[in-house]
Chain A
Amino acid sequence: MTAELGHYALVLALALALVQSTLPIWGARTGDDALMGTAAPVALAQALFVSISFAALTWAYVTSDFSVVNVYENSHSAKPLIYKISGVWGNHEGSMMLWVLILAVFGALVAIFGKNLPQTLKANVLAVQAWVATAFLLFILFTSNPFLRYEQAPMEGRDLNPILQDVGLAIHPPLLYLGYVGFSICFAFAVAALIDGRLDAAWARWVRPWALTAWIFLTLGIAMGSYWAYYELGWGGWWFWDPVENASFMPWLIGTALIHSAIVMEKREALKVWTVLLAILAFSLSLLGTFLVRSGVLTSVHSFATDPARGVFILLILMLFIGGSLSLYAWRAPTLKQGGLFAPISREGALVFNNLFLSAACAAVLVGTLYPLALESLTGEKISVGAPFFNSTFVPLMIPLLIAMPFGPLLAWKRGDLFAATQRLLFAIGVSVLVTVLVYAFVQGGPLLAPLAVGLAVFVIMGALADIAERAALWRVPLKVSLSRVRGLPRSAWGTAVAHIGMGLVILGIVGETAWKTELVQRVKLGETITVGRYALTLDSLFPRNGPNYQEGVARFVVTRDGANVGTMEAAKRVFTARRMPTTEAALLTHGLSQLYVAPGETITESAIDVRVYDKPLVLWIWLGCVVMVIGGGLSLSDRRFRVGAPRTARARKAALQPAA
């Protein structure tokens, strides 16, 4: 019964989305308050029904209702509860359900927190949001219905793909989708502004928190996915330039450009038209990302055509939203008034530089990802575009960006002084040169350019600190004054500095991992000791073990460093009982910011095992740096000027008090 309820609730949600798509925008056109007023309550109701529907599907998974096709295909009664729940979005239909759930909840949030929005803008935004919801609900109901039943229920399910049974992957898709769908709000604001023909600094102030929120979740989601691939896929890499990864990376790059250009728009009313374009592009790439991953077009152009209904529907949605919004943009953007002028060397100029390089980097990723598909469908010629291509196009685009990063915050608005900014960065430059020389002199091995890359990372970090020191007028005024200045700095200033430091840390991790990792591939016999980098590993035992829904062979290593015991590691080869699917479970040992990584190889017998062992220095910074970036985003988000209501009510209260006094 619950499955039918879920299905019914989804149909009702579609009906509500249709209402929300039309009435408010009609009201906004005709100036009808009542019609515009429908937007918020209908958005709330739509969120309620989508939630009911999603809850019904989750319930079917939790109770292992195998009469539901989707549950049978992706679940198993012996699976731990958390994977039963994460199994809901571990498949195509369920992940689309999660998508519309987040979309509806975000729509409801706009309805609830959008009290200060101009009424027409709010009505238009919610209507555009509902267009997206309508398209996705139709897609689910017509091509990917998760509530279909078997007439006769099978006894047992087919289990979730074993490599997806992992905590990392349980939370990776929701984080990613929170990011993707967060950009839908920016998109809705952009399209609403284009329809309205009005675009001012207040618009940027409204959009920036949403862009930041989406960016935070997307950053977390990508970092999570990268760490998951690192420990689960078992060959020790953390980024593969896989099309699936690229699909989430592109909206991140444009989203990063967006949160920067929105600053310019908010403070200086410049770059308006460009910011709107970025808002549209960020969501378009999110849509593209969702569908690239979901449609199977990446595996091969041909697998796309195996399910024509889905494929054609997907193409229609993409064409409708991307094509439609870009056409609207081309038509309306010229009518938008341009704001503030600025010199090339200025804060605005630096942010334009940032946007230019991020967009070009995104274009490199986009072209690299789609080129093989386009070439094959146009000429039939098959080529591969892999990591070597991206490394040699993307990385060179990042280097100027990183070098420029510390300069941006130190330049004044309108007209900056590059020489003065350089002077303020002298200390940061000195430290990074010193570090480069020290690394060059004392760290052995690694490519010749690696110390320079470390220097660049240090420059980014020190540059971010230099900005804080500059704002505190450190050394120019008494220390006490500086400290109180530091305390008085707006959160957004801290946000910038912390996020930039996070970026520097990520670079440090990447350089440490790529330049100084040690690798050993070897057959190890019981009792034998191998040395990898700074560690010695002894194969202590080999034994079988049973898990809840798998059986595994475990190799246990005792690890020492300079003679001192640092721990034990258990690498395993698993066979999942339901799907008879073997997986490898790499063992990780964290030591400071480095990790020792043991991946079991092909052969494993009762007395020996083939292993691939890595000593990866600084590798943890790759993900911790992302967390630091996210903290920076959070700080910026908590800045009081984003709580637009706050200053206004304070002023209102003062005004109210005056007559009484």
Chain B
Amino acid sequence: MIQAFSKVSRTIDSRTGWLSAAALALTLAAPPSALAVQPAEMLADPAQEARAREISKELRCMVCQNQSIDDSDAGLAKDLRILVRERITAGDSDQDVLQFITSRYGDFVLLRPPWETSTLLLWLSPAAILLAGGIGIAMATRRRRTATPARLSADEEKRVAKLMREE
């Protein structure tokens, strides 16, 4: 890899064919910036291509950090993009494609974790917290509303009685 780079830099320095040299450098290294889906990969049918793009957004580029295969330019992401398109041209439904990819790569490839016992807590916790918070607030308000007014100490009662007498 490093040798390839020094070769690239020599080519650039000699100013001949620099563009293809830069392209070579890009295909060799996995840059942090992504280039994603390439013209050559795309399907001719716009409807099928649109489906492929939507599916790609649900699939993780397994060698990247938190990128979908639609966003990533890593080699593996490219392979997956092509695989998705192959399945679509073969007539698979969106669900079939996702199932096919998951059967090969496991749940890790799905950016939307599936409903399973191990992800139950993940999916339910936002709603659970909202619900718990709502119930907590309702209970607190009710408790305070019923409890607060009826609380005079014996001393205070005596003073009230005294004041009333003075009236």
Please determine whether B35 and A389 come into contact, CB atoms closer than 8 angstroms.
no
| A232 CB contact (under 8 Å) in B33, B42, B113, B123 | B33
Listed residue (A577, A602, A605, A606) with the most chain B CB atoms within 10 angstroms of its CB: A602
Q: Is B80 on the interface with A (CB-CB < 8 A)?
A: no
Stretch in contact with the other chain, from A143-151, A167-175, A361-369, A447-455: A361-369
Q: Given the complex of chains A and B, what is the CA–CA distance between A384 and B31 in angstroms?
A: 22
Residue pairs across A and B with CB atoms within 8 Å: the count is: 179
Binary interface encoding of chain A residues 598-609 relative to chain B, with 1 for a CB under 8 A from any of its CBs, else 0 = 011111111000
Interface size class of A (residues with CB under 8 A): 35 or more
Please determine whether A242 and B65 come into contact, CB atoms closer than 8 angstroms.
yes
Q: Given the complex of chains A and B, what is the CA–CA distance between A384 and B119 in angstroms?
A: 11
Q: Say yes or no: A371-B122 contact (C-beta < 8 A), given A242-B65, A384-B113.
A: yes
Please determine whether B125 and A577 come into contact, CB atoms closer than 8 angstroms.
no
Name B54-95 residues within 8 Å CB distance of A. Answer: 57-58, 60, 65-68, 71, 73
| A384 CB contact (under 8 Å) in B23, B36, B108, B148 | B108
Q: Say yes or no: A386-B66 contact (C-beta < 8 A), given A338-B144, A352-B137, A602-B26.
A: yes
Please determine whether A602 and B57 come into contact, CB atoms closer than 8 angstroms.
no
Q: In the assembled complex, how far is the CB of residue A352 from the closest CB belonging to chain B, in whole angstroms?
A: 6
Q: Is B99 on the interface with A (CB-CB < 8 A)?
A: no
Q: Is A551 on the interface with B (CB-CB < 8 A)?
A: yes
Please determine whether B39 and A601 come into contact, CB atoms closer than 8 angstroms.
yes
Q: In the assembled complex, how far is the CB of residue A101 from the closest CB belonging to chain B, in whole angstroms?
A: 28
Name B116-144 residues within 8 Å CB distance of A. Answer: 118-119, 121-123, 125-126, 129-130, 133-134, 137, 141, 144
| B108 CB contact (under 8 Å) in A344, A382, A603 | A382
Q: Say yes or no: A386-B68 contact (C-beta < 8 A), given A397-B126, A582-B22.
A: yes
- Which B residues are in CB contact (< 8 Å) with A600? 35
Q: In the assembled complex, how far is the CB of residue B12 from the closest CB belonging to chain A, in whole angstroms?
A: 5
- Which B residues are in CB contact (< 8 Å) with A601? 35, 38-39
Please determine whether A553 and B22 come into contact, CB atoms closer than 8 angstroms.
yes
Q: Is A523 on the interface with B (CB-CB < 8 A)?
A: yes
Please determine whether B144 and A341 come into contact, CB atoms closer than 8 angstroms.
yes
Please determine whether B65 and A299 come into contact, CB atoms closer than 8 angstroms.
yes
Q: In the assembled complex, how far is the CB of residue B113 from the closest CB belonging to chain A, in whole angstroms?
A: 5
Please determine whether B111 and A384 come into contact, CB atoms closer than 8 angstroms.
yes
Q: Is B9 on the interface with A (CB-CB < 8 A)?
A: yes
Q: Is A544 on the interface with B (CB-CB < 8 A)?
A: yes
Q: Is A392 on the interface with B (CB-CB < 8 A)?
A: yes
Please determine whether B109 and A582 come into contact, CB atoms closer than 8 angstroms.
no
Please determine whether B12 and A521 come into contact, CB atoms closer than 8 angstroms.
no
Q: Is B25 on the interface with A (CB-CB < 8 A)?
A: yes
Please determine whether B38 and A573 come into contact, CB atoms closer than 8 angstroms.
no
- Which A residues are in CB contact (< 8 Å) with B20? 605-606
Q: Say yes or no: A544-B134 contact (C-beta < 8 A), given A384-B60, A573-B26.
A: no
Q: Is B101 on the interface with A (CB-CB < 8 A)?
A: no
- Which A residues are in CB contact (< 8 Å) with B123? 393
Q: Is B34 on the interface with A (CB-CB < 8 A)?
A: yes
Q: Is A387 on the interface with B (CB-CB < 8 A)?
A: yes
Please determine whether B19 and A605 come into contact, CB atoms closer than 8 angstroms.
yes
Q: Given the complex of chains A and B, what is the CA–CA distance between A606 and B18 in angstroms?
A: 9
Please determine whether A553 and B113 come into contact, CB atoms closer than 8 angstroms.
no
Q: In the assembled complex, how far is the CB of residue B141 from the closest CB belonging to chain A, in whole angstroms?
A: 6
Please determine whether A385 and B113 come into contact, CB atoms closer than 8 angstroms.
yes
| A356 CB contact (under 8 Å) in B5, B6, B65, B134 | B134
Q: In the assembled complex, how far is the CB of residue B96 from the closest CB belonging to chain A, in whole angstroms?
A: 18
Q: Given the complex of chains A and B, what is the CA–CA distance between A419 and B123 in angstroms?
A: 36
Please determine whether A583 and B33 come into contact, CB atoms closer than 8 angstroms.
yes
Please determine whether B37 and A364 come into contact, CB atoms closer than 8 angstroms.
no
Q: Say yes or no: A582-B26 contact (C-beta < 8 A), given A385-B113, A575-B8, A602-B38.
A: yes
- Which A residues are in CB contact (< 8 Å) with B158? none
Q: Is B160 on the interface with A (CB-CB < 8 A)?
A: no
Q: In the assembled complex, how far is the CB of residue B33 from the closest CB belonging to chain A, in whole angstroms?
A: 5
Q: Given the complex of chains A and B, what is the CA–CA distance between A333 and B76 in angstroms?
A: 53
Please determine whether B8 and A599 come into contact, CB atoms closer than 8 angstroms.
no
- Which B residues are in CB contact (< 8 Å) with A612? 35-37
Please determine whether B71 and A388 come into contact, CB atoms closer than 8 angstroms.
no
Q: Is A329 on the interface with B (CB-CB < 8 A)?
A: no
Please determine whether B137 and A234 come into contact, CB atoms closer than 8 angstroms.
no
Q: Given the complex of chains A and B, what is the CA–CA distance between A286 and B5 in angstroms?
A: 40
Q: In the assembled complex, how far is the CB of residue A170 from the closest CB belonging to chain B, in whole angstroms?
A: 17
- Which A residues are in CB contact (< 8 Å) with B33? 163, 232-235, 583-584
Binary interface encoding of chain A residues 231-264 relative to chain B, with 1 for a CB under 8 A from any of its CBs, else 0 = 0111101001111000000000000000000000
Q: Given the complex of chains A and B, what is the CA–CA distance between A551 and B10 in angstroms?
A: 12
Q: Is A529 on the interface with B (CB-CB < 8 A)?
A: no
Q: Given the complex of chains A and B, what is the CA–CA distance between A356 and B131 in angstroms?
A: 9
Q: Given the complex of chains A and B, what is the CA–CA distance between A241 and B113 in angstroms?
A: 15
Q: In the assembled complex, how far is the CB of residue A400 from the closest CB belonging to chain B, in whole angstroms?
A: 10
- Which A residues are in CB contact (< 8 Å) with B25? 575, 580, 582
Q: Given the complex of chains A and B, what is the CA–CA distance between A240 and B60 in angstroms?
A: 13
Name A521-549 residues within 8 Å CB distance of B. Answer: 521-523, 542, 544
- Which A residues are in CB contact (< 8 Å) with B37? 521, 612
Binary interface encoding of chain B residues 7-48 relative to chain A, with 1 for a CB under 8 A from any of its CBs, else 0 = 011001001001110110111010111111111101000000
- Which A residues are in CB contact (< 8 Å) with B42? 521
Q: Given the complex of chains A and B, what is the CA–CA distance between A379 and B107 in angstroms?
A: 14
Q: Say yes or no: A233-B34 contact (C-beta < 8 A), given A298-B65, A385-B113.
A: yes
Please determine whether A360 and B38 come into contact, CB atoms closer than 8 angstroms.
no
Q: Given the complex of chains A and B, what is the CA–CA distance between A610 and B134 in angstroms?
A: 52
- Which B residues are in CB contact (< 8 Å) with A542? 19
- Which B residues are in CB contact (< 8 Å) with A553? 18-19, 22
Q: In the assembled complex, how far is the CB of residue A273 from the closest CB belonging to chain B, in whole angstroms?
A: 10
- Which B residues are in CB contact (< 8 Å) with A367? 121-122, 125-126
Q: Given the complex of chains A and B, what is the CA–CA distance between A233 and B122 in angstroms?
A: 29
- Which A residues are in CB contact (< 8 Å) with B113? 383-385, 389
- Which A residues are in CB contact (< 8 Å) with B36? 235, 612
Q: Given the complex of chains A and B, what is the CA–CA distance between A363 and B60 in angstroms?
A: 23
Please determine whether A363 and B38 come into contact, CB atoms closer than 8 angstroms.
no
Q: Say yes or no: A582-B34 contact (C-beta < 8 A), given A363-B129, A521-B39.
A: no
| B112 CB contact (under 8 Å) in A235, A299, A388, A582 | A388
Q: Is A359 on the interface with B (CB-CB < 8 A)?
A: yes
- Which B residues are in CB contact (< 8 Å) with A605? 19-20, 23
In addition to A382-B107, A583-B31, 6 A-B residue pairs with Cβ atoms within 8 Å of each other are: A360-B126, A551-B12, A552-B22, A602-B23, A610-B35, A610-B40
Query: Can you report 24 A-B residue pairs in the complex whose CB atoms are below 8 A from each other?
Result: A233-B33, A298-B65, A344-B141, A357-B130, A367-B126, A371-B119, A375-B118, A382-B106, A385-B122, A388-B111, A389-B112, A521-B42, A544-B19, A551-B18, A553-B22, A580-B8, A581-B31, A599-B35, A601-B35, A602-B26, A602-B35, A603-B38, A610-B35, A612-B36
Q: Which 6 A-B pairs have the closest CB atoms?
A: A386-B111, A364-B126, A388-B112, A360-B130, A580-B5, A363-B129
- Chain A positions within 8 Å of B, measured between CB atoms, are 161, 163, 232-235, 237, 240-243, 298-299, 338, 341, 344, 352, 356-357, 359-361, 363-364, 367-368, 371, 375, 379, 381-389, 392-394, 397, 521-523, 542, 544, 551-553, 573, 575, 577, 580-584, 599-606, 610, 612
- Chain B positions within 8 Å of A, measured between CB atoms, are 5-6, 8-9, 12, 15, 18-20, 22-23, 25-27, 29, 31-40, 42, 57-58, 60, 65-68, 71, 73, 106-113, 118-119, 121-123, 125-126, 129-130, 133-134, 137, 141, 144-145, 148
